[in-house]
Amino acid sequence: MRVLVTGASGLLGLIGTAFSRVSGGLLKVDLTKNAEVRQLFEEHRPQVVIHCAAERRPDVVAQHPDGALTLNVDATSQLARCCKEYHAFLVYISTDYVFDGTSPPYDVDATPNPLNLYGKLKLRGEEALRAVGGNAVTLRVPVLYGDVEYPEESAVNILQKNVDNPDKPVNMDHVAIRYPTNVVDVARVCRDIAVLGVDKQQTLPPILHFSASEPMTKYDMCVDRPLNSALSVTGLTQLGIDAGHVPFRAWWRKHLSV
């Protein structure tokens, strides 16, 4: 199975394409340039595309809305068109921020109501996917963490700076509840979805949710975030996909002790 992963310069996209970080096995592609995207498909003919590339930082999206629109919506639409034309199965990574956090846990058919521009643009990306059609699944996930090149890649990993500097006072939000999920688990779920959709030719629902199950407050919020946007993973378990996850505290104990 030939798999193309966009956004390999980010936290989730471990292999595939990258624009800002290019090393062995990675391809430098600007997803906002249609000609480059089309050339990528023509040369590599992927059977599966995992679309991770996005501007995921809500504060940056708010400060640079035009650029965020181009990457999070327009590039997604172009990628979906290429997937349809080249008969590739597309998994689009979306977010729990499409919900307002007032009525968790959210099933896949819950009505979205994003609070901030980031959530609104990711929802528009979902809508662009449906407008194009083709063989595609939207996978909504919560805040992610895992092995990073630098802490700023994850809104969870960056909190380690506060742990490493306990004498420096920091204002923390102890209200908003998130479900930090390890990227290894998300990658596994993406693989399982692709196997069902391509190898087994199984008809899949257009939207699926995956999330860890440990509720925690997120300490570094400084703009509007959902209060509690827990995602129901029932859709995955009904497909026979393992919805288990890496325990948050155990992962951090192991990595902080290294």
The token pair that represents 153 in the structure block: 């890649």
State the pLDDT at residue 23.
Answer: 53
State the pLDDT at residue 176.
Answer: 73
Average pLDDT over residues 66-92: 97
Fold of 3-148+180-214+229-256: Rossmann fold (3.40.50)
Instruction: Mean pLDDT check: name the lowest of 18-32, 132-146, 149-163, 225-239.
Output: 149-163
DSSP string, 182-241: EHHHHHHHHHHHHIIIIIS-----SEEE---S--EE-TT--S---SB--B--HHHHHTT-
| 1-10 pLDDT, tens digit each | 899 999 865 5
Residue bearing the bigger pLDDT, 177 or 105 = 105
Residue 15 banded pLDDT, cuts 50, 70, 90: very low
Residue 188 pLDDT > 60: yes
The verdict on whether omega for the bond into residue 112 sits within 30 degrees of 0, i.e. cis, is: no
Mean pLDDT of the chain: 82
Domain boundary assignment for the chain: 3-148+180-214+229-256
Cα 202 → chain centroid: 23
| 25-67 pLDDT, tens digit each | 678 889 999 999 999 999 999 999 999 999 988 889 999 999 9
State the pLDDT at residue 31.
Answer: 92
Task: Tell me the C-alpha distance between 183 and 154, whole Å.
Answer: 10
Residue bearing the bigger pLDDT, 69 or 166 = 69
The token pair that represents 68 in the structure block: 């965020």
| 76 neighbors 128 (Cβ within 8 angstroms) | yes
**CA nearest 50: which of 12, 5, 86, 88?**
5
